[in-house]
Chain A
Amino acid sequence: MADPDILIRARGLTKVFGGSVAVDGIDFELRRGEVFGFLGPNGAGKSSTMRMIGCVSPPSAGELTVLGLDPVRDGPAIRARLGVVPQEDTLDVELTVRENLLVYGRYFGLRRDVIAERTARLLDFVQLADRAGDQVEPLSGGMKRRLTIARSLISEPEILLLDEPTTGLDPQARHVVWDRLYRLKQGGVTLVLTTHYMDEAEQLCDRLVVMDRGRIVAQGTPRDLIAAYSSPEVLELRFPVGEQEQAAEKLADVPADRTEVLADRVLLYSADGEATLAEVRRRGLEPATTLVRRGTLEDVFLRLTGRRLED
């Protein structure tokens, strides 16, 4: 009955905390070898979903199958085959970098020689080989995150779960983490990640679901989602303070697929941003700044929910 390439299947998956519904009946499937993302703002229910997949939070209702097993009944057996990078670092600060991998590998019941061999490879992979003997605490946020990724790989998991893998990192550290995750993807690892960064989702995910207030509001490849809910190009206009409202009225009849008036700028969705800009100028409007860019997942989210991702 079960397709062996479907690693996770959720039907009507629901999580309720007290009286509030964190995850509200979502359906999705994860296929072997893909990078699957949950994109949504804070509080959308992404982390709750990840915790249910990771068998550390029992579903309140609905069906969930992970690697063909039931997370409530077979939690330890499933967890033996998962790698987890939690949102908050849970590195062992009383141990060194290398010992973190050793002890964590032992939690999985791996043999010391197997762990030692993998540790050398993994510390190399996350560029921490020269810090192997150091304590964890003085490491930078980016290094800790990379160490957490290495730790999650010590058991050579079949699925790697990453909850907000680059939240709180500076841009440079984010790029290093992305690069490592991209290499894992190239190596055929199945990844599930949550993020509220649209660029992260766009760069890494083969397929993603957009979540808002516990529900899935759209799903598909980043490209398909942008094609369906945005336009090839977006013209962004900023007007001097206080002038945006009048300007927006004048923009009403500019030919565009759609116009969004945000607090600080106006977005015009069209196939050709430059042509639209020419139309704006023809109406005697002189925005303070103009930008023509391609449509992104941010636009998809805005279209679907009327709100921005990173507020």
Chain B
Amino acid sequence: MPEPGPRRGPAIRQGWRPPQAAAAGPARLRRIQLRIVPAVLLAARRAGLGGQGSARLIERHARVYRRTWGVLVSGVFEPLFYLLSIGVGLGRLVGTVPGPAGRPVGFASFVAPALLATSAMNGAVLDSTYNVFFRLKYAKLYDAALATPMRADEIALGEIGWALIRGGLYGCAFMAVMLAMGLVHSAWATAAIPVALLIGFAFAGAGMAATTFMTSWQHFEYIMLATMPMFLFSTTFYPLGVYPRAIQIVIECTPLYQGIVLLRGLTLGAVGPGLLASVAYLAVMGAAGLHLAGRRISRLLLR
């Protein structure tokens, strides 16, 4: 058994730099951030929201999923199966539907952007609710992180950032399939991935904020109760025109409808200033959710 002493044991007082100096390595940190943190997070950090801690939380999630990458990849297939069965299969029977501004479009081209929006929503909601709830209440992940220099708002931002990275991967895969199948009809579609991320941001923010109010797994039924009808009725499979006006107004108020309008406009090349309202809607929803989630985590854990 080696003798205890400053050299052998973790000598706390001598022979090492003060933590601030050790924590620096700014150049290296920056490189890592640029590698893994999307621009939105860097922008948020410049705005004083923090981001270093968020990047480290994202790094942790990436490490965990490296071992279970199958779980990650499986998320690619769900929207793809919908596209093949309903968009292509059912599309054979449907033919064309009235697209934006009433122009007829092929059914698959009509449904595909809506499925992209839905998968952005589902991915974000799944990550920011079930996974966050588990980490918050059971894994005590945030309790551990809050014993380090990490802050509650950095945790909220990190979780949302991770949901976006994951959603971004799915979005890219789905867009590649759309391109290959000839379902993209406009150069505006290059903006579809950022918009899919915006949809993810809106739902991740709202989902995470909602999760901080939940006390049991049963409460997730309510999340399903919100997302499932949105998926089915927010003009995913048919145009808004089939509804009476009263219902149209209700549908127009849902965030998924706003996302679908945006993506459909971009991939079908029907772009107008009206789309900016949808962008604003989703951006405000995400920012409000992020802000609330950070405050709620503080309130729950820093008592």
Interfacial residues, chain A to chain B (CB-CB below 8 A): 17, 33, 54, 56-58, 75-77, 79-82, 84, 86, 88-95, 99, 102-104, 106-111, 114, 118, 121-122, 125, 153, 155-158, 160, 182-184, 186-190
Q: Is B10 touching A109 in the complex (CB atoms < 8 A)?
A: no
- Residue in contact with A187 in the complex, picked from B4, B19, B25, B151, CB distance below 8 Å: B4
**Quick check: B143 and A118 within 8 Å, CB to CB?**
no
The answer to the question of B222 belonging to the interface, with a C-beta cut-off of 8 Å to chain A, is no
B245 at the binding interface (Cβ < 8 Å): no
Whether A184 and B9, one on each chain, are in contact in the complex, defined by CB atoms closer than 8 angstroms, is: yes
Additional A-B contact list (12), CB under 8 Å, known A79-B146, A184-B9: A90-B147, A91-B144, A103-B63, A107-B60, A107-B150, A108-B149, A109-B24, A122-B10, A157-B19, A183-B4, A188-B14, A189-B10
Inter-chain contacts of B144 with A (CB < 8 A): 90-92, 104, 107
Asked whether, in the complex, the Cβ of B11 is within 8 Å of the Cβ of A108, the reply is no
Interface centre among B9, B13, B139, B151 (most CB of A within 10 A): B9
| Chain B residues, CB < 8 A from A186 | 4-5, 9
Residues of B within 8 A of A79 (CB): 146-149
User: B103: CB under 8 A from chain A?
Assistant: no
23 contacts between A and B (CB under 8 A): A57-B302, A57-B303, A77-B149, A79-B149, A80-B23, A90-B144, A92-B144, A95-B60, A99-B63, A103-B59, A106-B60, A107-B145, A109-B29, A109-B52, A109-B56, A111-B25, A153-B12, A156-B10, A157-B12, A158-B12, A182-B4, A186-B9, A188-B6
> Do residues B60 and A92 form an inter-chain contact, with CB atoms below 8 A?
yes
For residue A6, give the distance in angstroms from its CB to the closest CB of chain B: 15
Contact in complex: B10, A187 (CB < 8 Å) = yes
Q: How far is the CA of A105 from the CA of B148 in the complex (A)?
A: 9
Q: Does B28 lie at the interface of the complex (its beta carbon under 8 Å from any beta carbon of A)?
A: yes
With A90-B144, A156-B10, A187-B11 as given contacts, are A109 and B60 in contact (CB-CB < 8 Å)? no
> Does B93 touch A at the CB level, under 8 Å?
no
Interface centre among B53, B59, B148, by most chain A C-beta atoms within 10 angstroms, is B148
Given A80-B19, A80-B23: A187 in contact with B53 (beta carbons within 8 A): no
Which B residues fall within an 8 A CB radius of A? Answer: 4-6, 8-14, 16, 19-20, 22-25, 28-29, 52-53, 56-57, 59-60, 63-64, 139-141, 143-151, 301-303
Known contacts: A92-B144, A108-B19, A114-B22. The answer to whether A56 contacts B4 by CB under 8 A is no
Q: Complex: how many Å from CA A109 to CA B56?
A: 8
Of chain B, the residue at the smallest CB distance from A99 is B63
Q: CA of A89 to CA of B59 in the docked complex: distance in angstroms? A: 22
Of the candidates A56, A114, A157, A182, which one forms a contact with B301 in the assembled complex, judged by CB atoms under 8 Å apart? A56
List A contacts of B5 (CB < 8 A).
186-187
Whether A110 and B53, one on each chain, are in contact in the complex, defined by CB atoms closer than 8 angstroms, is no
Q: Which residues of A contact B59 (CB under 8 A)?
A: 103, 106
Residues on A with C-beta less than 8 A from B22 are 110-111, 114, 155-156
A75 to B149, CA, bound (A): 7
CB–CB B10/A153 < 8 A: yes
Asked if residues B60 and A160 are in contact (CB atoms below 8 Å), the reply is no
Known: A93-B139, A114-B22. A188 touches B13 (CB 8 A): yes
- A80→B149 contact, CB < 8 A: yes
With a CB–CB cut-off of 8 A, which chain B residues contact A33?
13
Chain A nearest Cβ from B160, distance in angstroms? 18
CB nearest to B67 among chain A residues: A94
Contacts of A109 in B (CB 8 A): 23-25, 29, 52, 56, 149
Pairs of residues from A and B, 6 with the lowest C-beta to C-beta distance, nearest first = A107-B148, A90-B144, A183-B4, A109-B23, A84-B147, A90-B140
Closest to B25 in A: A111
Q: How far is the CA of A7 from the CA of B13 in the complex (A)?
A: 13
Known: A57-B302, A109-B56, A118-B10. A94 touches B4 (CB 8 A): no
CB distance from B56 to the nearest CB of A (A): 5
Measured CB to CB, the closest approach of chain A to B49, in angstroms, equals 14
> Could you say which residues of chain B place their CB within 8 Å of the CB of A106?
56, 59-60
Contacts of A57 in B (CB 8 A): 302-303
Given known A80-B23, A81-B19, A92-B139, contact A107–B302 (CB-CB < 8 A): no
Q: Most A CB atoms within 10 A — which of B10, B145, B149, B151?
A: B10
CB distance from B124 to the nearest CB of A (A): 20
> Which chain A positions have C-beta within 8 A of B150?
76, 107
B302 touching A155 by the CB < 8 A rule?
no
- Expressed in whole angstroms, the Cα–Cα distance for A107 and B60 within the complex equals 9
CA distance A110 to B6 in the complex (A): 21
Instruction: Please give, as numbers and ranges, the residues of chain A lying within 8 Å of B9 by CB-CB distance.
Output: 125, 183-184, 186-187
The smallest C-beta distance from B72 to any residue of chain A, in angstroms, reads 14
How long is the Cα–Cα vector from A157 to B10 in the complex, in angstroms?
A: 10
B139 to chain A, nearest CB (A): 6
B19: chain A residues at CB < 8 Å are 80-81, 108, 155-157
Q: Nearest CB to that of B18 among chain A residues?
A: A81
With contacts A95-B63, A111-B25, A156-B19 known, is A76 near B139, CB below 8 A?
no
Once the chains are docked, how many angstroms separate the CA of A102 from the CA of B139?
17
CA distance A17 to B303 in the complex (A): 9
The answer to whether B12 touches A188 (Cβ under 8 A) is yes
Partner of B64 from A89, A95, A183 at Cβ < 8 Å: A95
A98 to B281, CA, bound (A): 44
Q: In the assembly, what is the distance between CA of A109 and CA of B64, in Å?
A: 19
Chain B residues with Cβ below 8 Å from A184 are 9-10, 12
Within 8 Å CB of B149, what residues of A?
A: 76-77, 79-80, 107-109
A76-B150, A121-B10, A184-B10 known; A108-B139 Cβ under 8 A: no
